Amino acid sequence: MEKQFASLNLDTTDPLSHSPTETENSQTPLHSSSSHTEYDTHQCPIFTQEVDPLLIKTSLEDRIAYLTDFLNFTSRDAEIISKIAPSVHDVIPSLVDGMYAKLFEFDITKKVFMTRNQGFDGPLPQTLEELTLDSAQIVFRKVFMKAWARRVLTADYSTGKTWAYMDKVGIMHTGASPFKHQRTMGIAPLNVPYRDIALTLGWIQTVLHTAILQLPESTCPVSEKVEAVSAINKVLWIQNDLFSRHYIGD
C-alpha cells in the first residue's frame, strides 16, 4: 500500500510542478491562539457558524478553513511542529521500514507492490513469496514515503500549496490522477482501498506520537510534548479527510 504514498515521486524535488491553482497561491489564515482548548468547559457558543456543505465539497480553500477551524489547528500548532521536527526527524527511516513491515503482514496490502510503480524500471518479483522488504522496488519506494513524512514535519501550513499537495495525495489513490505529467505520459493511476489508507495513517500517527513522547525532557518539556502530539494528530486527521473526501464524496 505504500505504493500510494510512494508514487509521489515529484515530492523529492517539487511535487507540485505545474501551474499553481488559486488554492495553492492562497494563504490559509491560521488563528494565533494556543493549540489548547478548554475541553472541560461546556458553554453554549455565542454564535453558530454557517457552513455551506456544497461549497466545502468543491472549494478546497473553504474546506481547509472549515477543517482547521473545527480542529482548532492554529499558528501555534504549526509553530510547535516546526520546533520539534529536528528532534523527531531521525525517526523517519525506521517509521518507513516499520510501515512496510506492517503492510507485508497481510496479503491484501502486500499485493499492491506486485504492480510496477511509476518511475521504477527494475526487476519485479513473479510471486508474492518472492517479494521481500529488500526488493528493488520497495527500496525505491521508501525514498518517496520518507519525503511525505518529512513534509508533514516541515510544511508551511499557512500556505494553500501545502493543503493542495495533501489533497492531491488523496486524489491519486482513488483511480484518478491529479498530476498533469502522469496523464500526459499515460501512467495508470492508483486505486487503493480507503480502508487500508486510513489504517496506515493510524499506524503512522502512533509512531510519531511515540517518538514525540520519548523525547528527553531537556529537549522537549512535557507541556510542549502535549502540544506537539495534539498538533500532529490534527494534521494527520486533515490528511485523512483529504483522502476520504475523494472516496465518499462528502
Note whether residue 20 is domain-resident.
Answer: no
Note whether residue 112 is domain-resident.
Answer: yes
Position 62, amino acid = D
Whether the CB-CB separation of 78 and 231 falls below 8 Å is answered with yes
Range 152-191 burial, b when 16+ CB lie within 10 A, else e: bbebebebbbbbbbbbbbbbbbbeebbbeebeeeeeebbe
Position 112, amino acid = V
Q: What is the pLDDT of residue 75?
A: 97
Q: What is the pLDDT of residue 18?
A: 44
For 148-189, give the DSSP string: HHHHHHH--TTBHHHHHHHHHHHHTTBT----HHHHHHTPPP
What's 202's domain CATH number?
Answer: 1.10.490.10
Note whether residue 36 is domain-resident.
Answer: no
Note whether residue 94 is domain-resident.
Answer: yes
Note whether residue 107 is domain-resident.
Answer: yes
Tell me which residue of 58, 73, 248, 244 sits closest to 169, measured CA to CA: 244
Q: What is the pLDDT of residues 125-168, one digit of tens each?
A: 899 999 999 999 899 889 888 999 999 999 999 999 999 999 99
Number of domains forming the structure of the chain: 1
Q: Which residues contact 47 (CB under 8 A, 6 or more apart)?
A: none
Note whether residue 39 is domain-resident.
Answer: no
Note whether residue 31 is domain-resident.
Answer: no
Cell of 66: 472549515
Q: What is the pLDDT of residue 91?
A: 96
Q: What is the pLDDT of residues 206-225, one digit of tens each?
A: 999 999 999 999 999 999 99
Q: What is the pLDDT of residue 81?
A: 98
Whether the CB-CB separation of 68 and 28 falls below 8 Å is answered with yes
Give the chain's residues under pLDDT 50: 1-19, 34-37
Name the phi and psi angles at 174, rounded to 5: -100, 0
Note whether residue 127 is domain-resident.
Answer: yes
For 192-203, give the DSSP string: --HHHHHHHHHH
Rg (Cα) of the chain, in Å, rounded?
19
pTM: 0.81
Q: Provide the residue range defining the domain that includes 237.
A: 55-243
Q: In the 8-state DSSP scheme, what is residue 134?
A: T
Alpha-carbon distance 176 to 88, whole Å? 33
Q: Which residues contact 242 (CB under 8 A, 6 or more apart)?
A: 163, 166, 167, 169, 170
If one counts every other C-beta atom within 10 angstroms of the C-beta of residue 10, the result is: 20
Angle between helices 136-154 and 160-171 (to 10 degrees): 150
| Owner of C-alpha cell 488554492 | 23
Q: What is the pLDDT of residue 169?
A: 87
